[in-house]
Amino acid sequence: MPPELLRLEGVHTHIGQYHILQGVDFSVPRNELLMLLGRNGAGKTTCLRTIMGLWQASAGQVHFDQRPIQRLPTPDISRLGIAYVPENMGIFAGLTVRENLVLAARAGDPEEERLERIFRLFPAMKTFWHSHAGNLSGGQKQMLAISRAIVEPRKLLLIDEPTKGLAPAIIGAMVEAFRELKRDTTLLVVEQNFHFARSLGDAVAVMDSGRIVHTGTMAALAADEALQQRLLGLSLESHQ
Amino acid sequence: MKTDWIPLALVPLLAFAALPLVGSIPTWLTLTVAGLAMGMMIFLMASGLTLVFGLMDVLNFAHGIFISVGAYGAATVLTRMTKQMQAESLASDLSAMVPAVIAAMALAAVLGWFFERVLIRPVYGDHLKQILITMGGLIVFEQAIHVVWGADIIPLPRPGTITGSFIVGEAAIERYRVAAVVVGVVVFALMWAVLNRTRIGLLVRAGVENPEMVESLGYRIRRLFVGVFVAGSALAGLGGAMWAMYQEQVTPAMGMQVLVVIFIVVIIGGLGSVGGCFVGAMLVGLMANYTGYLAPKLALGSNILLMVLVLLWRPRGLYPVGKA
């Protein structure tokens, strides 16, 4: 079994007349959390959407668990064991918390054991079980979106900016939840919050202008402020 | 989220507001039952369109043809079963009406499947092309009705048990109108149960909000689209059959003629909302009947006025569906 669960090779994606991904190469190691970093407009979200088949790659290959998936329709990609949490969370506001989770459990009602885990990670889900998702706060919506992704066993979670717009206290809860998730799931997380990324990431890939410009361990990037400045244009102080 | 009762309360509010204007309770009662019956038939015809609108984001101007074809399907069966319909027994009437309704729904469903497959599938996501191609489809299939059934009006007798009136106090209530209200309420209850108590319903409700996310959860939304389109067409066929029996005649243009009212109902209710469509249809039916009695010259514009007032109050309709 190769060490990587997901591998992108020379992936190009066009959206209309725009050439967004311009030959993306990187791989996500099994049982690790890879942080995909980069400035706004670098192509991170497009990268996740291309993996999910929501936008078709115009060239290149996406391999998941040793099989090419770049031509598969989105539902088939999902059924291989990939869950996706989009930047806008994608929750169904008119459905209750319970209904959102029931829908995500394709095999039927969610297993008790999985639900217990979700309630342990995010107690608010139990509290608001019968509430409409549209009535939840921003942080609770993000918790629901992540709960929905883990309501069934998945091999890979793709999560787009999980801390966007969240209060620091909620981000703290998210860090704990992600630590728990890392134990048995491979994650590819797009993030702008470097402090959050640094505290969780095992590996890192940095994008710029539709290309991967750096890959390595998060520990190495966290230790090299000059590299951070060059790749991300940030100083640690301003993000701590 | 609590149920929003205010739009539903508009129905009795409108009815009681009309009472002093009408002046006579028997006349008001007759008009109210007529309005509700008309509303139920419009609901049957419009409910499929609102789901197609909400779930698939398709502006289907050809919806009227499913109504016409349903009406012709029912007429074809009923005109061959006049003996059963004159027997004045419920069982005998049902032996004619059940096959007629099945024929109406089946014909409309098959035509709906053909439309989705051949005309609409290539233009998903392009509203302008949807309008053009569905309008074109409506015209072509309306002419096809001329070819198959002829251009003449086909008189359609009603079955004996739902013909005539009964008296409540001093008000004459048409039996057919009561039957239409019963069928409309039953269909709404069934739709509500399917949408709120089944997994398919859950998928449809989620798909109306965010089809892309439903796909990301592993469901093939395209199959759901086809199912909803076919079911919506079949409901339009049922509505068409009932509308034809209400009018006691069938014409090729009948679907096109009610299309404007159907779009008004769908917009008033909130695109994609079956509950909103139900309430909107009742409001439109009542408004048309009261205005037709009080100020016949304003009857045509009254529903437009109703739509304007509703949209000024709630710009996304009575029960807006949250779209992602």
Tokens standing for B54? 């909400």
How would residue A230 be classed by pLDDT, with cut points 50, 70 and 90?
Answer: confident
- Residue B144's alpha-carbon distances to A83, B86, B100, in angstroms, are 48, 31, 20
CB neighbour list of residue B2: distance below 8 Å, 6 or more residues apart? none
Put simply, the answer to whether B215 touches A131 (Cβ < 8 Å) is no
pLDDT at A239: 46
CA distance linking residue A49 with residue A103, whole number of Å? 21
Q: Reply yes or no on whether the pLDDT at B1 is more than 60.
A: no
Q: State the alpha helices, DSSP H only, in A152-193.
A: 168-182
Tokens standing for B246? 């209400």
CA distance linking residue B181 with residue B161, whole number of Å? 16
Q: Which of A171, A179, A143, A187 is nearest to A240 (CA)?
A: A171
Q: Which of A149, A207, A204 is nearest to A178 (CA)?
A: A149
Q: Which residue among A73, A93, A104 places its CB closest to the CB of B209?
A: A93
Q: Which residue among A74, A131, A132 places its CB closest to the CB of B216?
A: A74
Q: How many CB atoms lie within 10 A of CB B20?
A: 8
Q: Which residues of B touch A106 (CB under 8 A)?
A: 217-219
Q: Which residues of A touch B209 (CB under 8 A)?
A: 92-95
SS3 content of chain B, % helix, strand, coil (to 5): 75, 5, 20
**Amino acid, single-letter form, for residue B29:** L
CA distance linking residue B142 with residue B140, whole number of Å? 5
Average pLDDT over residues B1-10: 82
CA distance linking residue B120 with residue B127, whole number of Å? 10
Question: Which region, left, alpha or beta, applies to residue B173 given φ > 0 means left and ψ of -120 to 50 means alpha?
Answer: beta
Average pLDDT over residues A146-151: 95
CB neighbour list of residue A52: distance below 8 Å, 6 or more residues apart? A74, A77, A78, A82, A84, A158, B216
Any idea what DSSP says for residue A162?
Answer: T
**Residue with the larger pLDDT of the pair A153 and B321:** A153
Task: Chain A: give the shortest CA distance to residue B107, in Å.
Answer: 32
- Residue B101's alpha-carbon distances to A216, B24, B274, in angstroms, are 67, 37, 22
CA distance linking residue A196 with residue B6, whole number of Å? 45
How many Cβ pairs within 8 Å bridge chains A and B?
63
**pLDDT for B160-184, tens place per residue?**
888 888 888 888 899 999 999 999 9
Put simply, the answer to whether A84 touches B215 (Cβ < 8 Å) is no
CA distance linking residue B203 with residue A228, whole number of Å? 44
Residue with tokens 């209200």: B181
Average pLDDT over residues B313-317: 94
CB neighbour list of residue B261: distance below 8 Å, 6 or more residues apart? B42, B284, B288, B303
How would residue A1 be classed by pLDDT, with cut points 50, 70 and 90?
Answer: low
Task: Chain A: give the shortest CA distance to residue B36, in Å.
Answer: 28
pLDDT at B225: 84
Helices vs. strands in chain B: H and E counts, helices first: 13, 4
Among the ranges given (B22-36, B77-91, B189-203), the one the predictor scored with the smallest mean pLDDT: B77-91
Question: Which region, left, alpha or beta, applies to residue B124 given φ > 0 means left and ψ of -120 to 50 means alpha?
Answer: beta
Among the ranges given (A122-131, A221-230, B12-21, B99-108), the one the predictor scored with the smallest mean pLDDT: A221-230
In this prediction, the answer to ipTM > 0.85 reads yes
**Amino acid, single-letter form, for residue B272:** G
Numbered residues of chain A with Cβ closer than 8 Å to any chain B Cβ:
52, 54, 73-75, 78-79, 84, 86, 88, 90, 92-95, 99, 102-104, 106, 131-132, 134-135, 148
- Considering only residues 193 to 232 of chain B, which have any Cβ-Cβ distance to chain A shorter than 8 Å? 199, 202-203, 205-206, 208-210, 212-221
- Collapsing DSSP states into helix, strand and coil, what is residue A234? coil
CA distance linking residue B61 with residue B130, whole number of Å? 8
Q: How many residues does chain A have?
A: 240
CA distance linking residue A124 with residue A147, whole number of Å? 11
How would residue B321 be classed by pLDDT, with cut points 50, 70 and 90?
Answer: confident
Put simply, the answer to whether B206 touches A95 (Cβ < 8 Å) is yes
**Residue with the larger pLDDT of the pair B209 and B29:** B29
CB A125 within 8 A of CB A144: yes
Average pLDDT, chain A: 92
Average pLDDT over residues B229-239: 95
